[in-house]
Amino acid sequence: NAGVTQTPKFQVLKTGQSMTLQCAQDMNHEYMSWYRQDPGMGLRLIHYSVGAGITDQGEVPNGYNVSRSTTEDFPLRLLSAAPSQTSVYFCASSLTATNTGELFFGEGSRLTVL
């Protein structure tokens, strides 16, 4: 069972560079999301999707872009990296947005922006 797969696990960027964090799930989940985790702040929602072709902003969307062309994939793009985007990023999915089941998380991607 692959579950939710994120790549890369570690990345170092220079300010201004762009990159894409990949996320894929093999559970046929409709809902997918990206969170960032910063010390002392818990996890905060960046963007989410409730199905292919449908995305929306979360709490902290600035500086990030997403797309959902397939049910399986939900990449997160950093358009022009800034040191404030240094964080651990988690992709998560669930069957739907309203089901009572758990959110399944990827293993996380640690991003450092210099």
Per CB under 8 A, 92 contacts other proteins: yes
Per CB under 8 A, 8 contacts other proteins: no
Residue from 5, 19, 20, 50 touching other proteins (CB under 8 A): that is 50
Residues 6 or more apart whose CB falls under 8 angstroms from that of 65 comprise 47, 76, 77, 79
If the CB atoms of residues 28 and 100 are measured against other proteins, the closer one turns out to be: 100
If the CB atoms of residues 75 and 108 are measured against other proteins, the closer one turns out to be: 108
Which one, of 11, 27, 6, lies nearest residue 114 by Cα? 11
Beta bridge partners of 88: 37, 110
Rounded CA-CA distance 47/33 in Å is 6
Binding site for other proteins (CB under 8 A): 31, 33, 35, 40-45, 48, 50, 56, 58-59, 88, 90, 92, 97-98, 100-105, 107-108, 110
